[in-house]
Amino acid sequence: MAAYLIVDVDDLIQHLETRGTALDIQTLAAGLVNSATLAAGLGSPDDLVAIAVADWNRYRRPSGSAGISVQQVFAGEGYDLFNVPDRGAVADALLMHYFSFEDEPVDELITVTTQLDISTLVHRVQTTDRARVRIWGDEPPPNLEGAIFQPLESILGIPSKTVALYIDFENISISLSEQGYILDIDDLIDGMIRQAQTHGQVIHMAAYAPWGQRGRLAPLTDRTGREVSDEAPGRMARANIDPVFSLPGKNSADMRIAKEVLDDSARHDSADVFIIASGDRDFNEVFSAVRGRNKQVVVWGVHGSTSRLVESNPALIVEYVEDFCRLRRHTDLAFSYAPAPTVIQPDDSQPEFRPSQWSSVILQLDHLLQQDDAKMIGLDELAQRLIDVHAVPNVERADDLITQAAARGLLLVDQNANTVTVNSSHPIVEKTCLIRDRIVHRVANTLYMRGWEYVNYGFLLKGIGMDHALDRPGLNTGDTWRSEWVDCLVREGILKREMVPHRHNPEDLVPVIQIADEDVATATQQILGSSQSDIEDMNRRVIVSVEQFTSFRGFAWCPLGSLHRRLRPFDPGTTFQQAVEELVEVGSVRIEEYENPQSDYRTKGISLVTDSLQVQEVLEQRDNFIRVLLDLYEQRQPISHTTIHNYVTISDEELNLWISIMQSENVLKPVPGQVDLYSLFRTHHTVSLVAGDTLNE
């Protein structure tokens, strides 16, 4: 028995994509072979000649995460791969290659296509008197009498009904959260799409919520546990679910969904099945109207939050989101928290640590603990604080947010005393407080040192970018990351942002940052202020660098920004600012704005007060150290810690500091390949001055 299956792969894939049908290509190829074997009455797929027709040059590259190409899939299922780059000759090519030299007529011919060119084979192939010719496609081709037409969807088991999905996301998310479920946005999206597809071909999906409205939605996480509420609209859109903005509150989303469902169901090309994800009984009249238009209505609700009128309505199919979205409960996490392992991973393997609703809970709770100078505070006090700063709209949402944070180990709750505190060892808490402290500390120091009323927004972002304390995986990843955290601290009432006239163009307004919460700023300064020894070390670096710059170039001042860039490797946070501030206070340096010949604007610069005792002492120490280096150089002795110690009696810390200063000022250079061995730059300007050389102009 001669049986043939001819699959028009180009047409098939395009047809399924156009209809929005999601079907695994391997399942598709195997399903067609098995269905054809059964239809032809064959004992095995091996008795069937399966031909996959396509311009196979299109499918050479692997697609999908598995890295398998369409070509490989069809070949693996036993198909002959028939390459047809020129579509116009496809029927003639097939006829010549497979049927022109066959002595045995064909008993079964099945073509899978919606195109007429391949379908014409049914009249050109020599068949037996009892042969059956089948066309599996979209609709019966014209003028092909005698052929058996079967809808492709029925052959592949693809539901023929069309489906429209309308999700009251605010209602569903809050209902799930109140029932104790973790809202994994990935599981929600995947589960909803998968369940909708069981009712037919999905042609429309929309999700209604007050997207971007702070605290209106319960915290949404992804599969890594990261809070991603702000990313939810984008994730919805990427899954072909239209994120529709609705004003906060039940009635706003209900009215919009009701209007769109009624309008859409009245159209001539409307879906066969309408799924409404909301357990609200206010939709009963809408359900009745849609049913009256001969449409099937499916309601998605949440156990314990769905109206009994909806659940008892015999005209509706009621399904529950938690049953098909595979969600976990918060209690699953209650005892699973453990400190993150101290494993160093590459920076690019760590996701960005971004602000979230967890940030609000942590920052506001920490504020209350500092304000009351307490180790624990009442749960009711924290809930009210979250409402006061507009992190959540009401007590119910506040309690829900606190419960979720506690379940994830961010908070430590004493149920008997009804009190709570932060879990400072949790990595999310630790990172959140670190970022807050570094940003607030930088703003406070800049305002105090420079005597400004505010910090320019761009200037602050640049300063945060230079903060070495934030050089950790997932932190300080770019200006977007820095902007998000500054904006977060503004929302939480720690910083405040205003628009002020630009100093060079008053008609333009620029954003600036000020300290809103002085208590937080004071506490941060106490925690993060550099030690006095760090400041003293930086004082010497500043004096030496300014003197060398002005002496070598014959200038009276050094640009403050250039000086900071030069000393940045030795400034882990704001030590430079504090050192300059101290030098100004004791009268060792002056900070002024100078005319800059290379700019239209005046430049902030720093100059030494040469009759200052501190300046004279530091420069004398430097000169004495260079004299020791000169002695070693002239005696041809190696310059190292040991040999220098033989000439001067100073501590190891002091010696390390001066060697470091000499390296940063290019007086000393490490000898390549040698540990603790340096070479002296003998013709260096400062070395020549100390040596008493006659300097050329």
pLDDT digits (tens, 9 = 90+) for 9-38: 988 888 776 665 666 788 889 989 999 999
Task: Find out whether 439 and 459 touch, Cβ atoms under 8 Å.
Answer: no
Cα separation, 448 vs 678, whole angstroms:
40
What confidence tier does 589 reach under pLDDT thresholds 50, 70, 90?
A: very high
Cα separation, 474 vs 352, whole angstroms:
4
Mean pLDDT of the chain: 84
Task: Find out whether 512 and 498 touch, Cβ atoms under 8 Å.
Answer: yes
Cα separation, 112 vs 8, whole angstroms:
6
Is 634 domain-assigned?
yes
Tell me the per-residue pLDDT of 345-357, one tens digit each, with 9 for 90 and over.
444 456 788 888 8
Is 290 domain-assigned?
yes
Around Cβ 210, how many Cβ atoms within 10 Å? 19
Q: Provide the pLDDT for residue 125.
A: 85
The CATH number of residue 603's host domain is: 1.10.10
581, 613, 645 — which closes off a domain? 613
Chain-centroid distance, C-alpha 134: 51
- Both 389 and 499 in a single domain? yes
Which residue do the tokens 């420069």 mark? Answer: 619
Q: Specify the range with the lowest mean pLDDT, choosing from 215-219, 319-323, 490-494.
A: 215-219
Q: Three-state SS for 245?
A: strand
Percentage helix, strand, coil for the chain under 3-state DSSP, each rounded to 5: 45, 20, 35
Is 287 domain-assigned?
yes
Q: Specify the range with the lowest mean pLDDT, choosing from 91-100, 118-127, 492-501.
A: 118-127
- Both 10 and 101 in a single domain? yes
- Both 551 and 674 in a single domain? no
Task: Find out whether 551 and 510 touch, Cβ atoms under 8 Å.
Answer: no
Q: Provide the pLDDT for residue 242.
A: 93
User: Which of residues 240 and 568 earns the better pLDDT score?
Assistant: 240
- Both 315 and 240 in a single domain? yes
Dihedral over alpha carbons 536, 541, 542, 545 (to 10 degrees): 160
Q: Provide the pLDDT for residue 229.
A: 82
Is 599 domain-assigned?
yes
| Residues contacting 323, CB < 8 A, separation 6+ | none
Q: Which one, of 633, 622, 690, lies nearest residue 662 by Cα?
A: 622
Residue 528 has pLDDT above 80, yes or no: no
Q: Provide the pLDDT for residue 364.
A: 93
Q: What own/partner pairs with CB < 8 Å and gap ≥ 24 does 365-369 have?
A: 365/411, 365/420, 365/421, 365/422, 366/422, 366/433, 367/494, 367/517, 367/519, 367/520, 369/421, 369/422
| Residues contacting 359, CB < 8 A, separation 6+ | 432, 488, 492
Is 440 domain-assigned?
yes
What confidence tier does 340 reach under pLDDT thresholds 50, 70, 90?
A: very low
576, 592, 613 — which closes off a domain? 613
Q: Provide the pLDDT for residue 601.
A: 73
Q: Provide the pLDDT for residue 548.
A: 93
Is 187 domain-assigned?
yes
Q: Please give the tally of structural domains in the chain.
A: 5
- Both 240 and 266 in a single domain? yes
Task: Extract the tokens encoding 525.
Answer: 């300064």
562: left (phi over 0), alpha (psi -120 to 50) or beta: alpha
Residue 61 has pLDDT above 70, yes or no: no
Residue span of the structural domain in which 441 resides: 354-523
Q: Specify the range with the lowest mean pLDDT, choosing from 284-288, 462-466, 586-590.
A: 462-466
Cα separation, 112 vs 135, whole angstroms:
6
Residue 338 has pLDDT above 90, yes or no: no
Q: Three-state SS for 329?
A: strand
Is 558 domain-assigned?
yes
- Both 623 and 609 in a single domain? no
Tell me the per-residue pLDDT of 71-97, one tens digit each, with 9 for 90 and over.
888 998 999 999 988 888 888 888 888
Averaged over 533-556, what is the pLDDT? Answer: 92
| Residues contacting 491, CB < 8 A, separation 6+ | 214, 360, 389
Q: What percent of the chain has pLDDT over 70?
A: 89
Tell me the per-residue pLDDT of 189-210, one tens digit each, with 9 for 90 and over.
999 998 898 888 889 999 998 8
- Both 167 and 309 in a single domain? yes
The CATH number of residue 295's host domain is: 3.40.50.1010
The CATH number of residue 644's host domain is: 1.10.10.10
φ, ψ for residue 68, nearest 5 deg: -110, 135
Averaged over 579-599, what is the pLDDT? Answer: 85
Tell me the per-residue pLDDT of 144-155, one tens digit each, with 9 for 90 and over.
677 888 887 778
Task: Extract the tokens encoding 244.
Answer: 């529709």
Cα separation, 377 vs 268, whole angstroms:
61
* Strand-strand pairing, 419-422 and 377-378: antiparallel
- Both 260 and 122 in a single domain? no
Task: Find out whether 48 and 2 touch, Cβ atoms under 8 Å.
Answer: no
Averaged over 412-430, what is the pLDDT? Answer: 92
Cα separation, 150 vs 140, whole angstroms:
8
Residue 137 has pLDDT above 60, yes or no: yes
- Both 504 and 370 in a single domain? yes
Q: Three-state SS for 9?
A: helix
Helix pair 250-265, 284-292: axis angle to 10 deg: 0
- Both 560 and 435 in a single domain? no
Q: Provide the pLDDT for residue 607.
A: 94
- Both 484 and 499 in a single domain? yes
Q: Name the amino acid, one letter, at 187.
A: D
> Could you tell me the strand order of the sheet in which 273-277 lies?
242-245, 201-209, 162-168, 273-277, 296-301, 317-320
Q: Provide the pLDDT for residue 686.
A: 93
567, 588, 613 — which closes off a domain? 613
The CATH number of residue 81's host domain is: 3.40.50
Residue 154's Cβ-side half-sphere holds a number of Cα atoms within 13 Å equal to 8
Tell me the per-residue pLDDT of 239-294, one tens digit each, with 9 for 90 and over.
899 999 887 665 678 888 999 999 999 998 899 999 999 877 778 889 999 999 99
Which residue do the tokens 């390296």 mark? Answer: 663
Cα separation, 542 vs 580, whole angstroms:
8
- Both 643 and 625 in a single domain? yes
Is 340 domain-assigned?
no
Which residue do the tokens 């002296």 mark? Answer: 680
